[in-house]
Structure 1
Amino acid sequence: MPISGFPEWLPAQRQIEQFFLDRIRTTFELYGFASIETRAVEPLDTLLSKGETSKEVYLLRRLQEDPGAPASDDQLGLHFDLTVPFARYVLENAGKLQFPFRRYQIQKVWRGERPQEGRYREFIQADIDVVNRDSLPFHFDTEMPLIIGDALGGLPIPRVRIQVNNRKVCEGFYRGLGLADTDQVLRTVDKLDKIGPARVAEQLVETAGATRAQADACLELAAISSEDASFVDAVRKLGVTDPLLDEGLDELVQVVEAAREHAPGLVTAELKIARGLDYYTGTVYETQLEGYERFGSITSGGRYENLASAGNQRFPGVGISIGVSRLLGLLFGQNALTASRPVPTCVVVALPADERRAECDRIAGQLRKRGIPTEVAPTAAKFGKQIKFADQRGIPYVWFPGADGEPDSVKDIRSGDQADADAATWSPPDADRHPVISAA
């Protein structure tokens, strides 16, 4: 019986998922990121200290209480993202890491939220982060969206648009307006797409102490959007000044201009983007998938100065995360992806008789040694049934062992073409060797 929010893909979908993960992993490594994996659980106080997440955390508890268990065992929760565990990992291993440290992580995370299309309680994220001791040069912020653009640009998906903002722009603007509780304003504005401008304005008055004029100014800022540095003039026209606002605008210009040079149209300055988690301090990113905007962001992240810190040690960082399961779930829901076959097998070696299985296994072994995915037919049925077995699974080739000194032959069951072949030298076209993943 299916459990809502815990997806299980069929074999063809799983192949598509693996194709996506391989592409993402390869791109991350091309940019020099090293792979790590962190444990699935973290202390509860660590998880609850990083923003409004208390309703999302799954606790880890034993069904039967063990009187001898450590008292801390009931204070563990499953991680809801990969950034918080990464920060802890950096602090614990700082003496063994080389900085700046570039890492990627591809793991499952768990969130106790209401399941809906593309939103799950168990899902895979693919994260990259760069951290450094004491300070982190800003150019790493400009690099993040370019990497994500490269990773997603090689996949058979609709066009992506990365929306960027800078928390300093928002906080400096709110401060310049005279609003003291900038964190509350940020959290409220972050709900803009969910509840609309009228309700956001009401909540700003109710929860952040804003006047109606201040709330309207916040909405005017949030409405600014551009693919180039023209957003700066739009902000200046609002007549608010603050040193932090100036700093944020300068940084945001760098991100937008770097992206325009690398991949025109990839990045948009979107000043309504705030990100709800408290640990972001500067650049923030969200990504829309063309045609799927109503489902929200498929990647997100940003700059954090104080997430990884203990005592006098501070490791600022910047990172971005791809919601892999979220992306796939949305596309699967629209039947927007297809695999040319549901299994990796390229060749089925037909079995003429049970006593020739060892011979067929040797043929399969020769093909596998040269990287050709091969299996031997399960039974020595009539050749017509063995061909049907391959056809039903989308396998393009059937190999027929020769008899009485005759050469082997291989048949392309799609075209019906059949030719003599030697397992030591024959190869399929590159397009047939592995399943092809494409947009439907």
Structure 2
Amino acid sequence: MSELAPSPATVVWVTCPQCAAPLPCQDPAHSRYFGCARCRTFFRANPLAPASGAQRLDGFKTALEPGPSLPLGQVALLGGYRCRLTGYQVRGEQNDRLAEWREYQLRPAEPLTGDDPADFPLQLAEYQGHWLLVRRAWQAPDVVGPRSAQDGSWEDETGRSYQLWHRYQPLIRDALGEFDWNILDDEDLRLTEYISPPYLLASEQLRSDRPSWYLAQYLEPEQVAQAFGLARPSLPVRRGVGAAQPNPTQHWPQLARLAGLVAGLLTVLQILFFLLKPTVNGAEEFVVTSPDRAGYQQMVVSKSFEMREPGALAVTLETPDLNNHWAEITASLVNEQTGRGYEFTRSLEYYEGVEDGEHWTEGSRSVDAIISAVPAGHYHFNFYPTLEKDTGAVALILRLEENTALWSNYLLIMSVLALLPLWVWLRRRSFEQDRWSNSDFNPYATEN
């Protein structure tokens, strides 16, 4: 990349030495290298001294599709500067003929006043619809701890952690417009890239020289389109995950802590609610029998009781005398003012015996039921018991609790709270695996 140079508003023209096509030059004071759109020749020329002639440096075989998606000469506000897009190039890697991305040079669109900004000039890089705004960093990053910036991962003084992403030598495949440095010389550079989304930090080093550092920040396609006054669909479609693209679930640790806090609070409330719940009435006992020979099934009615406020009603039915038989009980809670009923059916069975000298039991003599959202009012139960033949008389005990703690709801909410951070973690991990699948230093590769 080039050093800072103010850009005048004067536009002059240079002539391609291969096809004699005229090319506009937006920055004649500093632009010395040009790519011809007609014949794909890359040449050197001095716009301020046309008599010195132009020198052909290289030529590109053919225009690479789809070409620049941003128009050359367009002005945009990026990185706090009014910039003009002056140059476009297609780059690849010398060891990977399939890799290909596009870079745009941005020059000042108006004279800059004061000291030269250390982070200018700017570049835009686009790969598979992912955009990076690249600016100069005058010094190497300050690394915290014993690690160096050449290690696989390290942390800078701001606490941001970087991981080694890629190492390569660039290959110039196409170029249009004007440049203030010979982009072909970049093919001798060794590039090392580190990522800490939404940032990418890159070093460019020529042999044993000290590296130059550049900091790139991820831009959403909408930001690029807005800066250049373009419609979003005119930009390349974004595919896959970008190297510095922010993870949409990057705040999942905070979400996990919040879910844990909510779960703890709900647990405390649930326990308090369970300990302080009022009892509507004590136990009420009935005697039920199996149907007579005519098949008649008795109905028993409980005492009237009052629900003082809307809430859940916990019902416990117990048959302490049931032994080696089963019973099925249909219960109907009846609102004595409205006649509305709330019905449920429960089965009880209890068996026991001795086998090989060991006593065994199976089943239970009690069952529970929850009737939720019961309005306030006066109620009673109608019970329709069905007992196994020859069961005889069996005691049925009813116990009620008003505004009982609904453990099913509590467990459901706790399950959701537990699954939410897990889902976010899995989504975050999947996103990172997709990102690192494009890197030669994929930390997830050892897990496969």
- TM bracket (short chain): under 0.3
- The structure that has the greater radius of gyration is 2
The two structures have a TM-score, normalised by structure 2, of: 0.23
The structure with more helix, counted as a fraction of residues: 1
Q: Which has the higher contact order (CA 8 A, sep 6+)?
A: 1
More strand by share: 2
TM-score for the superposition, normalised by structure 1: 0.24
